[in-house]
Amino acid sequence: MEKYVVGIGEALFDCLPDGRKLGGAPANFAYHVSQFGLNGCAISAIGDDELGEEIIEKFEAVGLNHILPKVEQPTGTVKVTLDSKGIPQYDICLGVAWDNIPLTKEMLDVAKRAEAICFGSLAQRSQKSRETIHAFMDAAPKEALRVFDINLRQNWYTAEVISESLNRANVLKINDEELDVVATMLLGVPSVPGKLIAEDPEKTRLVCRDLIAKYDLKMLILTCGAIGSYVFTDTEESYVATPKVKVADTVGAGDSFTATFVAQILLGKSMRIAHERAVAVSAFVCTQNGAMPVLPEELKK
């Protein structure tokens, strides 16, 4: 029986200074997973419009499986501005297609054959898409990797959404700024103005292991931008420094990290090797414009 590695949530166009690029964290994840020979599948919704047709054309051009029902709302777009270091700021349109993902039989059929699923908080800002994502997760095999790539954007998240998502996940992917939000919101850890938890390695370990214990997670992946990244289990820890590269933009770099890590674990690699390869791929993506560049062969091997 054919298995799938699924990204479910937003599929959209990032409107960057140099033009429009296909994106959306779950779609980026599915695309990058497929570059390692796995059966990636992007699940979202599109409008009955030119942008929606363009998304289908682009997915089909790279051979990416997709389930993209058409809805009344327009295909999603995001205005992306970059600072001097290539760090993006997002202006995300409301009331778009991926806010209204309908649950279909085709989705449930794929859910039953999913070996890994990546989902985030952003597409759960609307009740319709949140219900679809929850139903999809509930239909998936219990042994599947369930990656909550938290992806906090603007004010479109709540403690309830984050907690419910963690209860459906067995892997959490989070960055250093998000860790402060979640630690305060779910663990009652007081925030310190001007200082992130991730700046204190011992406090980082304690908070990450508390989250693993509270939500019975297999792994927690913490990325700290240009400094480095961690992977924690209840007994193991891996740290890899971030390579210095010439940054074009960092859009989609975190998604490529998650996808590479998941792909390597599914391919039987150790946590450490999966971590090192994820760092290498995300560093390469930072040197490219947009979230979905083609990886060089040496990074796919």
CATH number at 271 reads: 3.40.1190.20
Tell me which residues of the chain have a pLDDT lower than 70. 1, 84-86
C-alpha distance from residue 22 to each of 85, 117, 163, 197 (Å): 21, 20, 29, 33
The structure's pTM equals: 0.93
The 10s digit of each residue's pLDDT in 171-196 is: 999 999 999 999 999 999 998 888 99
CA neighbor of 180 nearest in space, from 216, 152, 217, 138: 152
**CA-CA-CA-CA dihedral for 205, 192, 157, 282, to nearest 10:** -50
Q: Which domain holds residue 293?
A: 4-300
- As for how many domains the chain has, the answer is 1
Helices (H), the chain: 25-34, 50-61, 105-111, 127-139, 159-168, 176-187, 201-215, 253-266, 271-286, 297-300
Element (DSSP H or E) covering residue 8: strand 4-8
pLDDT in tens, 231-283: 999 999 999 999 998 887 777 788 999 999 999 999 999 999 999 999 999 99
